[in-house]
Each structure stands twice: as C-alpha cells, then as structure tokens.
Amino acid sequence: MSERWDPVAFKARIDEVLHQFITQEADQFAAVDPLLSPVAAQVEAAVADGKRLRAAFCYWGWRAVGQPDSAALVRAAASLELVHAAAVVHDDLIDDSPLRHGRPTTHVALRGAVRGRPRADAAARSLAMLVGDLLMAMAGQLFATSGLPAAYLARARPLWSVMARELVAGECLEILRTGAGPDTEASLKVIRYKTAKYTVEQPLLMGGFLAGAGGRLREGYTAYGLPLGEAFQLRDDLLGLFGDPERTGKANADDVRGQRPTALLAETWRLAADDDRDRLRALLGRRRPNAEALDAVREVMRRLKAPDRIERMISARVEEALGALHELDVPAHAAGALASLAQSAADRAS
C-alpha cells in the first residue's frame, strides 16, 4: 500500500475482510436450522455499509508507531467495525429507530420473520438484541484470528474490556438521562462514553498497543482522540435533526421524539428565555411530535442560534485534536492521514 492515505482504497480492503468473514459466519449460523436464515441475513446487513472510520483510526494508530502496512493488522482493525455494528443494532433497538443507511433497522426488518406470531414486535426486538450480541462475539473472533503474533494481541486484549465497559456505560447514561433536565456537561459525558471513545480514542490506542507504542504516544492518542470523537458525535447530533435524510440514511427526528440528552437540546434550553422554554415543553411533551411540531422545535433552535453554538463546539474540538496531533512525534505520512481523518470525521453530511 502506498504511503499516501487513500480512504477509498482502505475502505475497500476493510469491506473485503468483513464480507468474507461475515459471509462465512452467517452461513455457519444459518446451517444450524433453516429458520435462522432471516437472522443470518440481518447479521450480514448490519455490516454492509459504513465509513470504516474506526478501522482507519486503528490502522493509523499502528502505522504512526512506525509499523509497516499489514494485512493481518487490517483484519484486526476490521474487527472494530463489528463492534460498531453491534452497538448500532443495540442503539437502534433502544431508540426504536426505523431507518439506518436508508434501510429498515434490524428490529424492524426482523418483524417479517415473526409475522403472525404471538407478541411479534417483542419477538423481533429480541432477535435484534441477539444479532447485536452475536456481532460483538464475532468481533472478538475476527480480532483473535487476524494473524498478528500472539504477543501483539496480548498487548491489546485488555482494551477490549475497557471499550465494552465504557460503551455500555455511555448507553446506560443516555437511557438514564433521557427526559431529565437538559444539561450540556452531562450530555457531553454521555457522548464521550457512548460514542467518542470507541470511535476514535480506543481504535487509535488499539492500533498503538498492537504496535508496541510507548506511554507518551498513547497519551498523545488520547489527547487527539477524545476531542475528535466528541466532535464526531456533536456533528451527528446536528445531522440527526437538521441533516437531509436522503444523505444520512436515518430518520431526522429520532433525537427529539425520544427526548435524548443531546448537547444541541441542552444548549437550546440554556439559551432559551422562559417563553421559549414553555414552548419547548409543550412541543417536546407530546407523545409523538408530528412534523409541524418538529419544525417548530427547529425554528426555536435556529432563532436561538443553538446550531451555531454546536458548530463552534465542533470547531474547538477539532482544533484541539489537531493541536495534539501537531505535538505527536510520528511519521509525516501518519500525521497527514490523521489530519485528513479529523476533517472527514467532523465535517460531513452523513
């Protein structure tokens, strides 16, 4: 592979690894009983799309130590995309989201497999939960069989429990804070643990541990990765309400309908006077806000310039991440790739 960072070529490599691995795993799963075929199909669908950012950060966490390109490392990096797929299936289930990548989410798609059965919706949701669990198990399997030396894998293995613990903690915090009083700092803590860490920081550290990175470099990865991961999710929050569903592939009102503790909502509340707060209470208090109510929420947010505030928070975090990157003693091609990844993670339309 050339030293020049080519995200399209890298994505193709990750897609190939995932396709081969998941096809084999799904076939073995379906071979247990033909009744499992729709579930196996959703396992494959869950990893069919994606930006492959987590794999990319793991790859450059490895390369920035001075390690060469490695097919085995690419397989190990691809395992983080299965962690992401598992998290997405569970998150969509928890949030009752209908769409992902422009297609029905796993729990919605699996309704067809249990149509006409007792408590069919609950059964479909249970199947989706198990798909997420299976994907997480597959992630560990792909990592362990990546082909990297056992000593390398042993260096990074403790990160798996940290990643799982912090990811679940973030998801739990979001559930526990949903419907509570808006609080920007609390919202930032949710996104830090639910998304930021496993999107940027932990993949970088995974690549670094695999490559034998020293403590100072690992500290630099965290200094770069945490603010960038937060910027990534803050952008996602904006896209979740103001993005084009044709481009994001997701419904653009889930956060408001679910009253999720986003920084966007918290900043809106902080900036709002009493009359706007009364209006927001009335709009958000509806069991299922309709399109007119959602447009009214957007209008309040725009008038208060809450989206502009989130844009400034994103810019500040990207600047912080790039400042930390500038301090890292890494090869020029790795620094260039990580700078490019920072922009693509924070400045996107989907």
Q: Which stretch of 254-258, 270-274, 298-302, 326-330 has the lowest confidence by average pLDDT?
A: 254-258
pLDDT of residue 2: 56
pLDDT above 70: percentage of residues in the chain = 99
Evaluated on CA atoms 15, 17, 22, 27, the torsion sign reads: positive
- Which amino acid would we find at residue 186? A
According to the model, what pLDDT value does residue 1 have? 52
Taken in order of first residue, the domains within the chain and their CATH numbers are 7-346 (1.10.600.10)
User: What is the average pLDDT score of the chain?
Assistant: 94
Least confident of 145-159, 227-241, 245-259: 245-259
Cα 26 from Cα 267, distance rounded (Å): 44
pLDDT tens for 177-224 read 987 888 999 999 999 999 999 999 999 999 999 999 999 999 999 999
181: which 2 tokens? 């009083």
289 has a pLDDT exceeding 90: no
pLDDT above 90 (res 8): yes
Residue 286 has a pLDDT of 75
274-284 and 263-271 helices, crossing angle to 10°: 140
Residue pointed to by tokens 């797929």: 85
Confidence at residue 101, expressed as pLDDT on a 0 to 100 scale:
86
Residues linked to residue 225 through DSSP beta bridges, in sequence order: none
Has residue 100 got a pLDDT over 80?
yes
Instruction: Please say if the pLDDT value at position 114 is more than 60.
Output: yes
At 250 the pLDDT is 75
Is the pLDDT confidence value at 240 over 90? no
Alpha-carbon span 100 to 171, nearest angstrom: 18
Residue 25's pLDDT is 98
Q: Tell me, what's the pLDDT at 281?
A: 87
pTM for the predicted model, two decimal places: 0.94
Q: How does pLDDT run across 118-171, given as a tens digit for each residue?
A: 999 999 999 999 999 999 999 999 999 999 999 999 999 999 999 999 999 999
Q: How does strand 103-104 pair with strand 99-100?
A: antiparallel
Lowest mean pLDDT among 38-42, 56-60, 150-154, 296-300: 296-300
